[in-house]
Amino acid sequence: MTEQASTGRAGDRRRAADGDDDSEWEKRRREILEAAAEVFFQRGFDRGTTKEVAARVGLTQPAIYHYVGSKQDLMIEIARQVDADFSAAIAEALASGTDPVTQLRGVVYSFMRALSRNRRSFAVYWKEYRAIPPEVARSVTAHQRTFIEQVSRLVTQVQELGVLPADQPTEIVTQGILGMLSWTYWWYRPDGPSTPDDIARGFLALIGLSEDEETSS
């Protein structure tokens, strides 16, 4: 990893040295990453500055370096946060039941919940992908492929049960479901009339997966 990309880890060492509470540190770090995602989404990575990020969270620029690192580190940590949250989402979905239909429903719910938490970060991840250093991009892309493969296996099993159309290629069905979910970041608004679970239920209805009360609770 480059020296620039390691700055965020240096911040972790400073946290330990300072004795900061882990939960408070993580809360502040998350606020900074969300602010950085807003700045990079609105102004682009090249034009956005750590000064703008600091202003959004009421901190100084040195504080941004203390908690996360440089502007490059902010982009790296946005990518890692998206990667971690969506990896956790698929793990949660797979643990939501033992049969593939329940698990696929779980994917839709967990994906929407993760996307609602990472709406701007998810958008910036795709919009500014070129700004992610190659070694980090390779790691998150590998996890992305694993995610797609796991969903594809579920789709295959659900097709074999006759719940999803078995006469259609699994890749098309899988990419259709994931594309439908992924593009939600463009129009979903936290203050809108629909919650992430409302949207998940609507998508499930569109693809013909009935649900039960346990899944949506």
pTM to 2 decimal places: 0.82
Q: Span 76-216: which CATH code?
A: 1.10.357.10
- What does the angle CA 186 – CA 187 – CA 192 come to, to the nearest 5 degrees? 145
Which long-range contacts link 133-138 to residues 24+ away (Cβ below 8 Å)?
133/1, 133/2, 133/4, 133/5, 133/72, 133/76, 135/1, 135/2, 135/5, 136/5, 136/76, 136/79, 136/80, 137/79
In tens, the pLDDT along 58-92 reads 999 999 999 999 999 999 999 999 999 999 999 98
Domain locations along the chain: 4-72, 76-216
State percent of the chain over pLDDT 70.
87
pLDDT band at 8 (very low <50, low <70, confident <90, very high): very low
Distance (Å, whole) CA 100 – CA 69: 42
> Tens of pLDDT along 177-216?
999 999 999 899 999 999 999 999 999 999 999 775 444 4
- The CATH number for 4-72, chosen from 3.30.460.10, 1.10.10.60, 3.40.30.10, 3.40.50.300, is 1.10.10.60
